Structure 1
Amino acid sequence: MRRPLGQPLDVPELPGTLRRSDLTAANAQAVHQLLVLGQAQGGGRVLDFSRWLDAFDHDPECDRQLCFVLEDALGIVAVAHCWTSAFIRNLVVHPRARQRGIGHSLLGVVFAAFAQRHEGHVDLKVMESNLAARRLYERAGMQYVQRRELEPR
């Protein structure tokens, strides 16, 4: 799916008492755990912790500034791990925090960050069976650009 960035962006406020934080050594394990949880529930792939963390230092697609983390008083509630190629690699909202507009707000943060980087659009892949994610992305103005059949495992 793709979200063009040339049109005006509606960046919603973060709901409730959420705050944005950076990816740090202190929260990296919790961020990774949430990404793994999202993989188990919605598909996608997440490297094991050490390779995932190492990629931020050695992979030109990874930039800590493009790992968007939202927290509340109980901990990490949402993560969008993006690549420098304006691609959302993973977006996960913790099950305890779903249905509160957090995913939509996080997408707005991502879109605004890539617009500031003068990107023309943001892309992602989503499993056709992941209906909740597809509805979220559609509401955020993303459009389908390509459909591919999965290769058998």
Structure 2
Amino acid sequence: MKTKQASPTIVRMRKFIDHELTALPVAGVNIGRFDEARHRLQAHLLLHSAYSNGLGYVPDVDPWWKGVSSDEEFDPALLTVAENESGEVIGFLHAWDSGFVKDVAVAASARRRGIGTALLNDIFHAFKRRGASRVDLKVMSTNYAAIALYKAAGMSVVNEVG
């Protein structure tokens, strides 16, 4: 008799940012603000690639951008990119002004170099400057690499919803 595998759950994670934060640079990588004209297509392609493993979904570029930029919690200052020395977007982070990280994606060829941590640290600093005391996100329970990244960045599990 086959046993039914449980569906993945959603894990809510949180980092309290009420203490000193350390930003660590990544050699050959620039962490900066998103510019729609320069980064929109590259960021979308990066998200599409990151979610191609079935752990998320991103619509086509125009509906995606319309949804992002028309959201009531949208703030363009909370879109962060990581670019290599050639100006290619190799990392992208999208957060809402409520202190919630919506998306984090790093190009497969650029993973395990500290880029995800640098993107998270940048947004932690941004929220700290705004007076926030914490930052939250949600991740699929089967996205083990992302959970490891978030834990390494100082986030902890708040709960799981199935």
- TM over 0.5, yes or no? yes
Q: Secondary structure at the match of 1:65?
A: helix
1:23 is matched with: 35
Higher RCO, 1 vs 2 (CA within 8 Å, ≥6 residues apart): 2
Q: Distance in 2 between matches of 1:47 and 1:117?
A: 30
TM-score by length of 1: 0.89
CA displacement 1:76-135 (0-9 Å, x = unmatched):
100001111111111011001011111111111010011111111100011111111111
* Seq. identity, %: 34
Q: Distance in 1 between matches of 2:130 and 2:87?
A: 32
Over 3 Å counting, the alpha-carbon distance change for 1:29 and 1:11 in structure 2 is same
User: What's the Cα RMSD here?
Assistant: 1.6
TM-score by length of 2: 0.84
| 2:86 maps to 1:88 | no
Higher strand share: 2
Q: Secondary structure at the match of 1:88?
A: strand
Q: Distance in 2 between matches of 1:27 and 1:85?
A: 23
**Aligned partner letter, 1:51:** P
1:26: Cα distance to partner?
Answer: 2.6
| Structure with bigger gyration radius | 2
2:58 is matched with: 46
1:144 is matched with: 157
- Find 1:33's aligned residue among 42, 45, 56: 45
My pick for the range that moved more, 96-105 or 36-45, is 36-45
1:17: Cα distance to partner?
Answer: 1.3
1:114 is matched with: 127
Q: Secondary structure at the match of 1:146?
A: strand
1:9 is matched with: 21
Q: Distance in 2 between matches of 1:5 and 1:74?
A: 30
Gaps of 5+ in 1: none
**Aligned partner letter, 2:148:** R
1:38: Cα distance to partner?
Answer: 1.4
Q: Distance in 1 between matches of 2:54 and 2:103?
A: 10
CA contact (8 A) 2:24 2:118 kept: yes
1:43: Cα distance to partner?
Answer: 1.6
CA displacement 1:40-94 (0-9 Å, x = unmatched):
2362332432122223542221121111011112611000011111111110110
